[in-house]
């Protein structure tokens, strides 16, 4: 008595659920995280090692630096255009496939014809990481509430960057160990395959809030069990007659 707050009705959302358990069991969350990690790893590796690779195939340091600048600049158009496209298509996996194709084309070009059409390979590699803004946009497009969006964003970026961070060091060790770039480029092509597979799960038209809460079958954002037939808190069973003013006398 004396409280001025409004009591929560049967249709009001329940407090946020245990998002950690939902995220760890969500193919959507893991798809986004692995795709984010593989895309970031490829970007970090290219920023770190592309100049060295280009000088090894015959460019002088100045030309290698100019091509690295081109690689970096090509990320801006994707950052502006891709989020708009992502909101207009139901299954943006085709966008992921397009960018993965660019990365594979650039790597294969450097592998089989490193001194031919070098500008083309660099352009393809510069366009390829455009999956990055798409994945960030999907974090919001695959959630309905701020709580879910925050939880998913933290999981995707935390796990993704953890996967990506060792990439440049491991590539450097592989290059030193093999004495060339062939093994490095093959490994990077394989990583793009992982990105493509994870992107398929990330682009499925599902919402994080629709995943059941572990152990209860309830969704974290609503507190309601899917397919439940029991009486809701403070509510009526389906088919019960709602008492009118005359019935309450």
The token duo for 30 is: 């893991």
User: In this predicted structure, what is the pLDDT of residue 10?
Assistant: 42
Using alpha carbons only, what angle is made at residue 192 by residues 187 and 197, rounded to the nearest 5 degrees?
125
Q: Are 23 and 155 in contact (CB under 8 A)?
A: yes
What digits encode the pLDDT tens for the residues 69-127? 999 999 999 999 999 999 888 789 999 999 999 999 999 999 999 988 999 999 999 99
Residue 215 pLDDT level (bands cut at 50, 70, 90): low
Q: Which of 203, 175, 207 is nearest to 188 (CA)?
A: 175
Query: If you average pLDDT over residues 213-223, what whole number do you get?
Result: 53
Rounded CA-CA distance 53/211 in Å is 45
The token duo for 13 is: 């959302």
Q: Are 41 and 163 in contact (CB under 8 A)?
A: yes
* CATH fold of the domain at 26-210: Growth Hormone; Chain: A; (1.20.1250)
Q: What is the DSSP letter of 83?
A: H
Secondary structure, 3-state, 43-70: HHHHHHHHHHHHHHCCCCHHHHHHHHHH
User: In this predicted structure, what is the pLDDT of residue 164?
Assistant: 98
The token duo for 215 is: 């152990």
User: DSSP readout, 90-124?
Assistant: S-THHHHHHHHHHHHHHHHHHHH-TTSSHHHHHHH
The token duo for 194 is: 């992982």
Domain chopping of the chain, boundaries: 26-210
User: In this predicted structure, what is the pLDDT of residue 217?
Assistant: 52
Residue 240 clears pLDDT 80, i.e. is over it: no
Q: Which of 203, 201, 219 is nearest to 211 (CA)?
A: 219
User: In this predicted structure, what is the pLDDT of residue 219?
Assistant: 52
The token duo for 39 is: 């895309």
In terms of Cβ atoms closer than 10 Å to its own Cβ (0-12, 13-18, 19+), residue 15 is exposed
Rounded CA-CA distance 127/70 in Å is 10
**pTM tops 0.85, yes or no:** no
User: In this predicted structure, what is the pLDDT of residue 213?
Assistant: 65
Q: Are 137 and 149 in contact (CB under 8 A)?
A: no
User: In this predicted structure, what is the pLDDT of residue 20?
Assistant: 78
What digits encode the pLDDT tens for the residues 134-192? 999 999 999 999 999 999 999 999 999 999 999 999 999 999 999 999 999 999 999 99
What digits encode the pLDDT tens for the residues 9-37? 444 444 445 777 889 989 999 999 999 99
Count helices and strands in the chain by DSSP H and E runs: 10, 0
Residue 233 clears pLDDT 60, i.e. is over it: no
């Amino acid at each position: 008595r004396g409280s001025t707050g409004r009591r929560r009705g049967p249709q009001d959302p329940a407090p946020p659920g245990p998002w950690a358990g939902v995220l760890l069991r969500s193919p959507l969350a893991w798809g986004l995280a692995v795709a984010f990690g593989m895309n970031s790893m490829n970007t970090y590796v290219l920023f770190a090692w592309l100049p060295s690779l280009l000088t090894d195939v015959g460019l002088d340091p100045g030309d290698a630096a100019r091509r690295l600048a081109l690689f970096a600049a090509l990320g801006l158009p994707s950052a502006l255009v891709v989020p708009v496209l992502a909101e207009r298509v139901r299954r943006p996996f085709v966008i992921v496939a397009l960018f993965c194709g660019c990365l594979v084309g650039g790597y294969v070009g450097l592998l089989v014809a490193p001194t031919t059409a070098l500008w083309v390979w660099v352009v393809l590699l510069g366009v390829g990481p455009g999956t990055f803004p798409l994945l960030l946009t999907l974090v919001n497009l695959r959630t309905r509430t701020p709580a879910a969006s925050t939880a998913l964003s933290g999981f995707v970026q935390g796990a993704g960057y953890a996967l990506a961070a060792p990439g440049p060091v491991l590539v450097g060790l592989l290059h030193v160990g093999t004495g060339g770039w062939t093994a490095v480029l093959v490994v990077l092509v394989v990583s793009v395959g992982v990105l493509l597979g994870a992107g398929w799960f990330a682009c499925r038209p599902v919402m994080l809030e629709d995943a059941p809460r572990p152990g209860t079958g309830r969704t974290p954002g609503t507190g309601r069990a899917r397919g439940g037939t029991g009486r809701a808190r403070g509510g009526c069973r389906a088919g019960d007659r709602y008492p009118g003013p005359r019935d309450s006398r």
